[in-house]
Chain A
């Protein structure tokens, strides 16, 4: 079935460090891929998305490229800030399979130290 696997956390970085959070997926249809962020005590916010192979999603300095050949959608940011501390979820949505509903990974907690 459809699934998402993302790297285990927690990830602790110093401010201005480079961030990579790995995400791979298994899908039976033609998935759209997402990164959501959850700040402490809050619901999920869409960070970025990509709807087809080779698309790059970007927002707030974060980027992820939809790689069909490696079934991956790794999240990157060149210089993290303390305010980026949150839990990050990779997710997919498969039209015709999940009818647009989201399948999430387990989340990766990021802590950025000043």
Chain B
């Protein structure tokens, strides 16, 4: 049983560019949440997708957007990248809009130069 998978593992972008990160949830899960973990900090909630809709959003600007597909996989898009967007981006999957345990993927390390 595959756990949560994320791609790519690492990527490097320059300021102003756009990036798309991908997440496949654990088998049987229908909810995907995204978190940003800056170096030396705890993860911060970006948003959650359930039934292909954004259900909850943290304190992140509109440059951060997402999508959930019918197979429950999800994408995180960040536009107009800033240096401060450099972080580890974690995807977590769960059942029923996050009311149950969240399982985390290994993350995507984004570096913005």
Query: Could you tell me the distance in whole angstroms from the C-beta of A95 to the nearest C-beta in chain B?
Result: 7
Q: State whether B56 touches A102 (Cβ < 8 A).
A: no
B105 & A101 in contact (Cβ 8 Å cutoff): no
CA gap between A48 and B58 in the complex, in Å: 24
Centre residue among B94, B98, B100, B103 by max chain A CB count within 10 A: B98
Please determine whether B90 and A44 come into contact, CB atoms closer than 8 angstroms.
Answer: yes
Q: Does B102 contact A (CB under 8 A)?
A: yes
Determine the chain B residues whose CB is within 8 A of the CB of A36 once the complex forms.
104
Contact call B43/A44, Cβ cutoff below 8 A: yes
Checking A43, A45, A49, A106 against B107 with a beta-carbon cut-off of 8 angstroms, the contacting residue is A43
Q: Which of B41, B48, B101, B106 contacts A101 (CB 8 A)?
A: B48
Shortest Cβ distance from residue A51 to the other chain B in the assembled complex, whole angstroms: 11
B43 touches A101 (CB 8 A): no
Q: How far is the CB of B92 from chain A (nearest CB, A)?
A: 8
User: Which residues on the B side are within 8 Å of A45 (C-beta)?
Assistant: 104
> In the complex where A43-B105, A43-B106 touch, is A104 in contact with B42 (Cβ < 8 A)?
yes
Residues in B neighbouring A101, C-beta threshold 8 A = 33, 45, 48, 56, 58, 98
Dominant secondary structure at the B interface: loop
Q: Is the CB of B98 within 8 A of A99?
A: yes
A46 to B107, CA, bound (A): 15
A44 near B98 with CB under 8 A, answer no
Q: Could you say which of B4, B48, B92 contacts A99, with CB atoms under 8 Å apart?
A: B48
In addition to A101-B48, A101-B58, A102-B102, 18 A-B residue pairs with Cβ atoms within 8 Å of each other are A43-B4, A43-B104, A45-B104, A49-B101, A89-B42, A89-B43, A91-B42, A99-B97, A99-B99, A100-B99, A100-B102, A101-B33, A101-B45, A101-B56, A102-B92, A103-B45, A104-B43, A107-B42
A-B contact pairs, 21 of them (CB 8 A): A36-B104, A43-B4, A43-B105, A43-B106, A43-B107, A44-B90, A44-B92, A46-B101, A46-B102, A89-B42, A93-B98, A99-B48, A99-B97, A99-B98, A99-B99, A100-B98, A101-B58, A101-B98, A102-B45, A104-B44, A107-B41
